[in-house]
Amino acid sequence: MLARIWLTTAFATICTLSIAMSVTADSTPSDELRALDGEWIFVEDRTEGRTLEQLGAPMASKFSMRVEDGAVILNGHGSGHKDVRVALDGSVTERPDSDKVARYRGAWKSGGGEDSGTFEYEVAFERPDGAIGSGIQMIRRSFRPTADGLVVTVAVNPPEGGVSIGLYRHAEDIPMPAIAKATAADLAWLAGDWVGTRSSGSSIEERWSPPLGGAMLAVSRTVNTGGKMVAFEYLRVVEREGGLVYIAQPGGKTATEFVLTELTPTRAVFDNPRHDYPKRIVYELSADGVLSATTGQLKGGTPRRFEFRRETK
């Protein structure tokens, strides 16, 4: 019963919101609306008042939208829904979502106001009577194309909940950093068989060949506490354009390249701001022989760190 009461209140809010919106009803999407098309990559957290550690994407690090006649098709917006069609006429799209039902409703704001040129939708979650809620009952997302990229604002349980703001761009509009000058021989300290243990107890290893022929090759493997391999990765460092490129293939899938941007005798930083996550990979060898591999954003957030020691035989 409480879920139904909440849902009635939530949709009263949505209806009130939609009255204030000028909805694009033309069957031919406008050029402004077409600016939403494509795949978007997180670039920068623009939420005020956050510490460095709190910086992160307001929603997925990568998502896409596709504009069709009278609707926007969402992909990668969460809730496990690959494609959700949100009509621009204010009608509701209902999708089952695990133990609840998600209801989407959106519109294109126009008419010259402060929020003119913004696509906004809300998704409300209804659970069966008696079900225990997760705490998130509504999410409101708005997308405003600007000269700098797509500004995304996400409000959770508005108006009481938190608000996050982030900038996204198409991959081709994100500049790649200059590559640092180096050769494979400069990473000779990375060669060897390195083993470590995750916090879960799983073992992880990276086995790097010595530099030869302008390249270093490696394979990574993770084995759980039950003795089963649960992940593997092919890795390469190759010389290119006077510098080094780190090439990763998790699970043997499509390769992702990161360029060397910083190098010291015991530390190497590889970046790819066009990748959703991670955007940065750092290898560092400590004075006591511990090799750390850190992955994360270019700025802030909470990086993932793995530590290895040379395997003793």
CATH number of the domain enclosing 248: 2.40.128.20
Whether residues 116 and 158 fall in one domain: yes
Contacts 24+ apart (CB under 8 A), 18-23: 18/90, 18/105, 18/107, 21/90, 21/107, 21/108, 21/109, 21/120, 22/107, 22/108, 22/109, 22/110, 22/111, 23/88, 23/89, 23/90, 23/107, 23/108
pLDDT at 69: 87
Q: Could you say which of 137, 170, 203 is where a domain stops?
A: 170
Q: Which of 94, 58, 67, 64 is nearest to 82 (CA)?
A: 64
Asked if pLDDT for residue 1 goes beyond 60, the answer is: no
194 forms bridges with which residues in the sheet?
206, 310
Whether residues 24 and 93 fall in one domain: yes
The answer for 171, left when phi > 0, alpha when psi is -120 to 50, beta otherwise, is alpha
Which residues, at least 6 apart from 113, have a Cβ–Cβ distance to it below 8 Å? none
The answer to whether the CB of 205 falls within 8 A of the CB of 268 is no
Instruction: Give the Cα separation of 100 and 111 in Å (integer).
Output: 36
Among 30-34, 86-90, 192-196, the range scoring the smallest mean pLDDT is 30-34
Whether residues 9 and 138 fall in one domain: yes
Whether residues 113 and 193 fall in one domain: no
Please report whether residue 175 resides in a domain.
no
Number of domains in the chain: 2
pLDDT at 84: 94
Whether residues 165 and 270 fall in one domain: no
Over residues 32-44, mean pLDDT = 95
Please report whether residue 177 resides in a domain.
no
Asked if pLDDT for residue 43 goes beyond 50, the answer is: yes
Over residues 305-310, mean pLDDT = 96
Whether residues 6 and 148 fall in one domain: yes
In the chain, pLDDT over 90 holds for what percent of residues?
Answer: 75
* pTM, full prediction: 0.86
The answer to whether the CB of 285 falls within 8 A of the CB of 270 is no
Q: Could you say which of 170, 197, 231 is where a domain stops?
A: 170
Whether residues 152 and 62 fall in one domain: yes
- Reported residue count of the chain is 313
User: Mind listing the pLDDT tens digit for each residue in 71-87?
Assistant: 999 999 876 668 999 99
Please report whether residue 179 resides in a domain.
no
User: Mind listing the pLDDT tens digit for each residue in 145-169?
Assistant: 999 999 999 999 998 889 999 999 9
Q: Residue 7 corresponds to which tokens in the numbers above?
A: 């849902």
pLDDT at 5: 31
Q: Residue 30 corresponds to which tokens in the numbers above?
A: 């406008």
pLDDT at 11: 40
Whether residues 6 and 149 fall in one domain: yes
Determine the structural domain holding residue 247 and report its residue range: 184-310
Q: Residue 219 corresponds to which tokens in the numbers above?
A: 């394979």
Please report whether residue 195 resides in a domain.
yes
pLDDT at 115: 77
pLDDT at 135: 65
